[in-house]
Structure 1
Amino acid sequence: MAQALELITGRLPVIAAAILVCAAAYLLPRLANLVRLYNIPVVGKEIGGEEKRRNAYLAGARKLYNDGYKKFKDTAFRISTSRTSSVIVLPPKYLPELSKLPDTVLSMTAAVDESMETKYLKIDTYIPVVPHLITRQLTPALIRLNPMISREVSELLKIEIPPSDDWKEYNAHDKLLRIITQVSGRLFVGPELSRNETYIDTAINYTMDVMKGQRAVQKMRPWKRPFMVSKMPEIKNLYKRIDEADAFLAPLVTLRKKMTSEGFEGERPDDMLQWLIDAQEKFDDPVSRDTAKVQLGLTFAAIHTTTLTAMNAFYNLAASQEFVGVLRQEIEQVLADNDGLFTSRALQAMKKLDSFLKETLRMNPATMAAFQRKVLQPFSLTNGQQIPAGVTVEVPAVAVNFDPTIFPEPERFDPLRFTKVVEQAAGSEGTKFAALNQFVSVNQNSLTFGYGRHACPGRFFAANEIKMLIGHTVLHYDIKLVDGVSDRYPNLEFAHMSIPDPSKNLLFRKRTT
């Protein structure tokens, strides 16, 4: 024992040196990251400390993003959010180089998981089979499916908002949510379930439960979440909803698989559920093979985003009576040139409708920031600035939308803003501007649908669905704000989100002119 003690004592300097080397190897890179991080300025310092800035962000982050964009327009700045990781906001000029970085450096999935609090909600935000189905099946199929989508929209409008000679008041959110759920459901699960009330309830409330769960988690301080989240009623309701959806969808999935395996010779269903069943063998990840989870993922993405966009459009339409006639005239003329059908060609020709929708999203973006990515490996921008691992980067989309150097008079809602831009350009420039200024376009000045290779793949279906919904409404209904209201309903803002107020009503009647 004495000899061992003497040996250890004699080697203490060596052991101490080794410990110091290991500690330095561990700590120095982290200290260097901290130095790089804290060299980036923070927006909202005048508000107070980290917790006060976080609460200001949760109350509505629009002002913080706008202030940061104006003050640090060409450089990075930090913003205090509800995320556990630090957030660095980058100028949009860096988007081309950021989009070239691999997912092993900048991860959209990791950023979305953190934003949606999937660790606690137990939902899957990335399902490999979904983008495959959308890009390889759904988008190419729209040419043949558009007439069916149009019929669904027309029928469901009449069911949910029966034509009346008198003005009738309806909650816009409730009606649009039911219509979009059923139209989307027709493509996702087929006619067997799309108008089934149990399916409608499941699809609508799953989306709502996810958002309620996310907000409940984000309101709680990060250090409390591992201990308290599972006890929250919002989380318990979400877990229950997922189990119910699985039980509800399972019989139809079993029936479809059985029908396929027995060599069914009739007309095969032409919808996402059947495409999913046919494609599952190509994907070996467990989530892609879980049909219920895939359907829930599709339902959440389609219903939530499409309903918000449609509500914003309907609120703008009701508040812009002078523009209803302009849209109606264009839609009638285009349909007359296309045998009365909402074909892909017809939808492409509705330039004023397209501009109206793009301006709606410019004025009312669903989120204040775009291109959110988690940094998995450190990297440097072309200006030499180093971005450390572990942070989240994003671009201030709402500030770009209201930049007067990009959009003149940005505070003014101009439904024909984007058609004017195209008309003013000539020749090849006109073609270029037309491509850049479509509703579904993605570029440094149009970030609603993301940017780069991870831009929203379902935006083409969503655009067609919304255009048909507005088109059929304008053709067959008059629409206006309720009596006593003259201005467009303001959106509700929470953290980085902006949503049309779901409590507001609109007036509808059968078209009179």
Structure 2
Amino acid sequence: SDILQDMLENYPPPATYNSDIYTYYSHWMIGLIFAAVHTTSEHGTMILYRLLKHPEIINELIEEQKQVFKDNFNSCNGDYDDITTESLKKLVKLDSVCRETLRVKNDFLTLPHANISNKHIVLSNGVAIPPGQDVLLNAWANQHDSDFQKDSKGNYYEFMPFRYVGIDRPSTKIGDDYLVFGEGKHACPGRWFAIQEIKTIVSLILRNYTIKASSPVEFPTNAVTRIPSGKVLFQNRKF
């Protein structure tokens, strides 16, 4: 079953909807496509800016590519047949950079949920959520709290690009320590594809271009703006 079939079976138009069913599901699909493109672009941009902020990482990621792709790394034929799901899984340093970048991003209150039942929901700590009440998660606290984090490196307010190398915490693995893609049965079903897209884009940029910041790179710390700022210089990579 794909997502369209799931919508057809479980999310019919409300009784008050005054247009045809095709328009209804078209609007659904447009919203889903926008959400997918928007978040993937946003996260990919954040990762590239982390590399610009910490240029010492770039050489390590290039060396990792050379080890994984070997002779194909220097190929300029434009086919890129070597970039597959399996080869991308071997880019463990890049994957760690992805997870760490998303862990430290300035998401504070996120993943809004609503109690749509007609009775109170009582949580394990005794807090009662009335019907119709909205609830948001404090992602920032979870993702910076040593009680939640699963690695032993500490310093959770510091960006450590290779924090997750060698441990079972890939960038798609959800949990209380990492709420970027949600959690439980409603976690993002497209997170594997999204990370694969991001790793492909970053890999190809590093393979084909040298990149460096031509102005200071700044990461926002407020709850309004997420995209970092700073001018970037791209130059064709010379092998």
The one of 275, 289, 302 equivalent to 2:36 is: 302
CA contact (8 A) 2:115 2:133 kept: yes
Aligned partners of 1:482, 1:373: CA distance in 2, in Å? Answer: 41
Q: Map of 1:4-19 to 2, 5 A cutoff?
A: none
TM-fit CA distance, 1:337 = 9.2
CA contact (8 A) 2:210 2:235 kept: yes
Which residue is equivalent to 1:410?
A: 156
TM-fit CA distance, 1:410 = 1.5
**Higher-Rg member (1/2):** 1
Q: Sort the Cα spacing of 1:294 and 1:372 in 2 relative to 1 into closer, same or farther, 3 A.
A: closer
Q: Secondary structure at the match of 2:63?
A: helix
TM-fit CA distance, 1:405 = 4.4
Which residue is equivalent to 2:236?
A: 510
Correspondence 1:482 to 2:211? no
Which residue is equivalent to 2:76?
A: none
Which residue is equivalent to 1:141?
A: none
What value does the CA root-mean-square deviation take over the aligned residues?
2.8
Correspondence 1:460 to 2:192? yes
Q: Identity of counterpart residues, as a percentage?
A: 30
Which residue is equivalent to 1:289?
A: 22
Q: Secondary structure at the match of 2:211?
A: strand
Aligned partners of 1:288, 1:368: CA distance in 2, in Å? Answer: 37
- State the number of aligned residues: 218
CA contact (8 A) 1:280 1:289 kept: no
Which residue is equivalent to 1:123?
A: none
Counterpart amino acid of residue 285 in structure 1 = P
Which residue is equivalent to 2:132?
A: 390
Aligned partners of 1:288, 1:297: CA distance in 2, in Å? Answer: 16
Q: Secondary structure at the match of 2:174?
A: coil
Per-residue CA deviations over 1:275-304 (Å, capped at 9, x if unaligned) read x6xx59955835873364244113311121
Per-residue CA deviations over 1:158-197 (Å, capped at 9, x if unaligned) read xxxxxxxxxxxxxxxxxxxxxxxxxxxxxxxxxxxxxxxx
Q: Sort the Cα spacing of 1:467 and 1:364 in 2 relative to 1 into closer, same or farther, 3 A.
A: same
The one of 361, 364, 384 equivalent to 2:105 is: 364
CA contact (8 A) 1:334 1:349 kept: yes
Q: Map of 1:76-91 to 2, 5 A cutoff?
A: none
CA contact (8 A) 1:280 1:288 kept: no
Aligned partners of 1:368, 1:342: CA distance in 2, in Å? Answer: 34
Correspondence 1:351 to 2:220? no
Q: Secondary structure at the match of 1:418?
A: coil
Aligned partners of 1:399, 1:370: CA distance in 2, in Å? Answer: 11
**Which consecutive residues of structure 2, in runs of 5 or more, have no partner in the other structure?**
14-19, 73-79
CA contact (8 A) 1:370 1:450 kept: no
Which residue is equivalent to 2:113?
A: 373
**Which consecutive residues of structure 1, in runs of 5 or more, have no partner in the other structure?**
1-131, 135-275, 423-433
Correspondence 1:133 to 2:2? yes
Aligned partners of 1:444, 1:498: CA distance in 2, in Å? Answer: 24
The one of 318, 323, 344 equivalent to 2:57 is: 323
Q: Secondary structure at the match of 2:69?
A: helix
Aligned partners of 2:221, 2:124: CA distance in 1, in Å? Answer: 38
Q: Secondary structure at the match of 2:164?
A: helix
CA contact (8 A) 2:213 2:230 kept: no
Which residue is equivalent to 2:77?
A: none
Counterpart amino acid of residue 507 in structure 1 = L
CA contact (8 A) 1:352 1:416 kept: yes
Which residue is equivalent to 1:225?
A: none
CA contact (8 A) 1:358 1:438 kept: yes
Per-residue CA deviations over 1:215-268 (Å, capped at 9, x if unaligned) read xxxxxxxxxxxxxxxxxxxxxxxxxxxxxxxxxxxxxxxxxxxxxxxxxxxxxx
TM-fit CA distance, 1:493 = 2.9
Aligned partners of 2:21, 2:86: CA distance in 1, in Å? Answer: 33
Aligned partners of 2:121, 2:7: CA distance in 1, in Å? Answer: 37
TM-fit CA distance, 1:369 = 2.5
Q: Sort the Cα spacing of 1:403 and 1:133 in 2 relative to 1 into closer, same or farther, 3 A.
A: same
TM-fit CA distance, 1:371 = 3.9
Greater fraction of residues in helix? 1
Which residue is equivalent to 1:473?
A: 205
Counterpart amino acid of residue 236 in structure 2 = K
Per-residue CA deviations over 1:462-494 (Å, capped at 9, x if unaligned) read 1111000000011111111114x2xx3222634
Could you tell me the TM-score, scaled by structure 2's length? 0.80
Counterpart amino acid of residue 12 in structure 2 = D
